[in-house]
Structure 1
Amino acid sequence: MNTALVDRLCRYGALVEVGVGVRPSVAVGLAERDCRVVATDVHERSVPGAVRFVRDDVTDPDLSVYRGADAVYALNCPPELQRPLADVAEAVGTDCLFTTLGGDPTVVDAAPEALSHDTLFRLNT
């Protein structure tokens, strides 16, 4: 688990992780800190009980999944999903945060925040 990322994201009480894949450790870490976490993915995924899973596609989202969240976030978010992620956050009025793979650019207006092993980007609103 990326402790620095969990430390930063746990400032939010309710979060949605977009594209959880097979690594729910950050979502689990947030749930262990009493955050309410929903994890989404385009494929059915197994997540521990403290994390709620919803199958959803951020490029064609069900906005009800994201309403009520304080933040939506994605880990290793590729450039082609950054705009849809930002659009969802803007549509429901929540913060948008993401990390990228090391060499990937950001394609949305976002401010970087250096963490110990990652750079977290926060969408500028």
Structure 2
Amino acid sequence: MNPLTRALAVRLADFDRLVEVGVGARTGLAGALADTGAAVTATDIRSRSVPDGVAFVCDDVTDPALETYTDADAIYARNLPPELHRPARDLARKVDAAFLFTTLGGEFPTVPTATETLPGGTLFRATDRGSVGSGRGGDTRAPDRRVTHGDAGRRGG
């Protein structure tokens, strides 16, 4: 597992129920999260093979089947193209889930985000406030879903 995938697995392990948008052929992160006991669903517009413990749903984030996402604590995507930032963020808002993503190369997010530098890349977390890509803004999740590191709110803690 490369350093960015490993760092994403650690960061996303705070969530119990996750949906990966556009899994493609890169299923290692979804598999690693499922191995920690998280409920993981991977989606893509084409049928894909996924690791044991990962559910798969053929879905398009621009016209989503809401039932796939309604129980998610977080929706995440890797290498998400700019034209999908807003639809994925809007979907996460609709189902009251956090939305975290990485971009393709040096592209900037097209929605307001807070940033977190990880080994090998940057993780963006959609926010309600702040300028696009500013790294400032509020959390879009309800206070009872706020993710904190190293406290009793963390799974298994």
Q: Same fold (TM over 0.5)?
A: yes
| CA displacement 1:68-123 (0-9 Å, x = unmatched) | 11000000011000001001100001100000112212100011101111100001
Query: Greater relative contact order (Cα 8 A, min sep 6): structure 1 or 2?
Result: 1
The yes-or-no answer on 1:103 pairing with 2:106 is yes
Q: Which runs of 5+ in 2 are unaligned?
A: 128-139, 141-157
- Residue 118 (structure 1) aligned with residue 106 (structure 2): no
Unpaired segments ≥5 residues, structure 1: none
Task: Please give the alpha-carbon distance, in whole angstroms, between the structure 2 residues aligned to 1:110 and 1:102.
Answer: 17
1:67 aligns with 2:70: yes
**Matched residue count:** 125
Mark the structure with the bigger radius of gyration: 2
Select which of 8, 14, 18 maps to 2:11: 8
Deviant stretches of 4+, over 3 Å: none
TM-score by length of 2: 0.78
What's the TM-score once normalised by structure 1's chain length? 0.97
CA deviations over 1:12-38 (Å, ceiling 9, x no partner): 001000000011000001001111000
RMSD: 0.7
The answer to whether the aligner puts 1:57 opposite 2:60 as a matched pair is: yes
Residue type at the aligned position of 1:112? T
Match of 2:62, as an amino acid?
A: T
Q: d(CA) in 2 for partners of 1:49 and 1:29?
A: 10
Alpha-carbon deviation of 1:59?
A: 0.2
